[in-house]
Structure 1
């Protein structure tokens, strides 16, 4: 029995998804999932066939993903914001049997050998006189989804996740947070990203509801928290800061039972604010390859460990080799598409340490370190120092090849106080960070390029330098 069928049997009329003012029970979703499942079977989709889903975050995307789950097909949702070139590279890599999109998204330049179906037409395809039987039986080792890594530094990789991966991850999160049947989890992360999809599957397994916001806008998220009985939210640090900067933002965030904070390092000043205001922050470390977070820390329980990522969940083992963090456990992906299986082990390529208390300290990816004049510079440290300067609302730091220094530190900043000279920024950084870490160049921009998760897209900054 599938996770969806189990909830329908137990709580058919219970709220599953709140989407704006529209409500969908488990039964509502199940009826559409069955319709789409029949359509896919009529398209001769077999277990483990790959379905590329090119739809915006919304209820229809959830229904199509769950329809794939019902018949054992592999759901591969991708962002509709990808460029034509990016999309075609991914399609070529995944080699789907079918592409599902909608009338608005359908483009004439999809690779021609691959059939394309529009979701508006799928219900018609499910009708007919012949009986279509779904014989698929769940197998924990079967691949159920292909999720793309966030791709902030290049072409994203295609991560293959199994039913067993999702089950292990969801169970770990339930053990850590103790989900309640009346919880409402506000999901403002994209559903084609592991952070969004994992929220849906946790709700499906444990019977709480999801308030779905299709795209992150700080004011919209704030209004949603105020209007609806939201108890849990998952954010990246940039998102949290933007909500807290709004009038009423702190009060709204304080009302939540849990605030999951992941997707990148959290600035110390932000963590200090959360501790001071007694916000129920759960620091999270994980990735697509580990089926979402696999390390956690409840900030108010141990504020003295605020700079640590947390401790591994049950079944997860983390160790270091050459200062890089390795992760093993039942939540670790089966492997990347087109590459060898991982056998439950993954090299994160993040630098870090694990102390005697099993606390994980996360540093930075080795390739992101800037080596200038023989000194190592962590760009995240410089970014945090910049963000504490009055007037700087956003910042990103990269290393640029330089004849004299090997690499020079370059800062891109969004500055709300016009007329400030670069020399003044240097003076304001003195005493905050060592002199060799102070950027040699400051470039003032109107915005820092970020992806849908709010992560800085450093590759675009490097392209700016070329």
Structure 2
């Protein structure tokens, strides 16, 4: 992996990193690499990277990979609750971008490092943070599948997504490993109209539906978006009105399907197919294979809905600290089907997971945090369809006292949860509909919530 530094020096006089200081990146990378190698004598280091600054993030990431360390990519905006989860899982040697005191735990178990690994955060069924174990090989396998699928050799990426998300990190990987150019621009700067002057016909950009919706609110940004070679759309299901608007404006949209565990997309609808009226997740990329299975395990025929199972050379090796053994395929909670032409159609999810603004949100985690405020008797969190966010996080709760307001509860949550996890809508109720086993009737709550919100708007 030391050849990463040789490659970085090889491209130092090119304009591969647009709008950022590539000389500063190279200097900082070399400095960090020497520091990591100095302490990387007996066992590989466990390094947390939670840098906000893109140059510092990339320098740390490249240096850590070159030093054959175990890299843990973390979200700098995590709250106390998330960092406490990380503390109970890791015992890092170095933490960049976060004070190491924030992640100390008295009872932290020692989990040995996994050499040459890249841990990317994802969520579990209970909302707990997990790290999908990747390597340079799994990430580059995703890049190879991408370039082969689109029949290109060089990828120029315009990145407005956080580098600590797999969708942002993979934009760097595609450009860096294919000799392409990389632009990193915070989405807020784009919304404000601060747009670099480059030839966008040669660039690929990735967005979540919420971002696309916001760009459509500005005619100038809509026209700007139409210049891109391809606009990949993922992270959450897109609604029909949004897709129709993209077609109307001749946006070269490419709806994708993928996840952290697969190092981003494993199926993509090509822009030409999208513009001719198709709407699905496209065909499976060459490095992956998707099978649809019935609950009994039998493989479904074309157009039959079932559970999605994935095989891919970009597939995670497991969840830290446990690597899978003899993992034949990865079963996800998504339901879908493959049509006769091999196009993937996603129809829903088995779990109660909420996807809002491209973020995976798990009700159990939020419900637990709300209960800890001691301001509610009971609570249930659901996702309500929302044109801007895909789904809006909604809490239906029984307050301890009639005078307890949503603002009081939210005040208690501000340091416990990330902002995107805090419910957008708060609906006080007198009781939660439960069955004899105590399971909440979420379908009934959906009806209650939608009626409440409809009446609130009238």
How many Å separate the matches in 2 of 1:89 and 1:250? 40
Match of 1:39?
A: 35
1:10-409 to 2 correspondences below 5 Å:
10-19=10-19, 22-24=20-22, 29-44=25-40, 48-101=44-97, 105-106=98-99, 108-111=101-104, 143-149=116-122, 154-179=127-152, 184-213=156-185, 215-217=186-188, 220=190, 223-225=193-195, 227-230=197-200, 231-303=203-275, 306-321=278-293, 322=295, 323-341=306-324, 343=327, 345-368=329-352, 383=385, 387=387, 396=392, 401-402=432-433, 406-408=441-443
Q: CA deviation at 1:228?
A: 3.7
Query: Is the contact made by 1:350 and 1:364 (CA closer than 8 Å) also made in structure 2?
Result: yes
Q: What's 2:403 paired with? A: none
Separation in structure 2 between the aligned mates of residue 69 and residue 169 of structure 1, nearest angstrom: 17
Q: Deviations over 1:388-416 (max 9, x none)?
A: xxxx89862769652599334557xxxxx
Q: Which runs of 5+ in 1 are unaligned?
A: 115-140, 371-378, 412-435, 447-466
1:81-104 C-alpha deviation (Å, 9 max, x unpaired)? 111231121132133232223xxx
Please tell me whether the aligned partners of residues 58 and 212 of structure 1 are also in contact (alpha carbons under 8 angstroms).
Answer: yes
Task: Provide the C-alpha distance between the structure 2 equivalents of 1:264 and 1:228, rounded to a whole number of angstroms.
Answer: 29
Q: Does the CA contact (< 8 Å) of 1:188 and 1:221 recur in 2? A: no
> What TM-score, normalized to structure 2?
0.71
User: Partners of 1:73 and 1:297 in 2: how far apart?
Assistant: 36
Alignment deviations for residues 405-464 of structure 1 (CA, whole Å, 9 cap, x no partner): 9334557xxxxxxxxxxxxxxxxxxxxxxxx79923328999xxxxxxxxxxxxxxxxxx
SS of 2:206's equivalent in the other structure is strand
8 Å CA contact 1:294, 1:312 repeated in 2: yes
CA-to-partner distance for each residue in 1:304-336, whole Å, 9 max, x for gaps?
663311111103110123221111021100001
Cα distance in 1 between the residues matched to 2:3 and 2:194: 27
Separation of aligned partners in 1, 2:389 and 2:143: 36
Pair 48,399 (structure 1): closer, same or farther in 2 beyond 3 Å: same
Shift of 1:2: 5.2
Q: Which SS does the other structure have where 2:58 is aligned?
A: helix
Between stretches 277-286 and 43-52, larger displacement belongs to 43-52
Over 3 Å counting, the alpha-carbon distance change for 1:249 and 1:47 in structure 2 is farther
Offset, 1:273: 1.4
Q: Tell me, yes or no, if the aligned pair for 1:329 and 1:344 is still in contact at 8 Å.
A: no
- Return 5+ residue gaps in structure 2 as ranges: 108-113, 296-305, 355-381, 397-431
1:246-266 C-alpha deviation (Å, 9 max, x unpaired): 240111001111111111111
**Does the 8 Å CA contact 2:254/2:274 hold for their aligned counterparts?**
no
CA contact (8 A) 1:4 1:30 kept: no
Q: How many angstroms apart in 2 are the aligned matches of 1:318 and 1:76?
A: 28
- Write the distance in 1 (CA, Å) between the matches of 2:434 and 2:193: 51
User: Which stretch has the larger CA shift, 299-308 or 256-265?
Assistant: 299-308
Q: Please give the root-mean-square deviation of Cα atoms over the aligned residues, in Å.
A: 3.4
SS at match of 1:301: helix
Following the alignment from structure 2 to structure 1, what is the Cα–Cα distance between the partners of residues 277 and 448?
Answer: 25
Cα contact 1:146–1:158 (8 A) shared by 2: yes
Q: What is the distance in 1 between the residues matched to 2:69 and 2:232?
A: 30
Aligned partners of 2:53 and 2:444: how far apart in 1?
Answer: 37
Distance in 2, matches of 1:14 and 1:187, equals 19
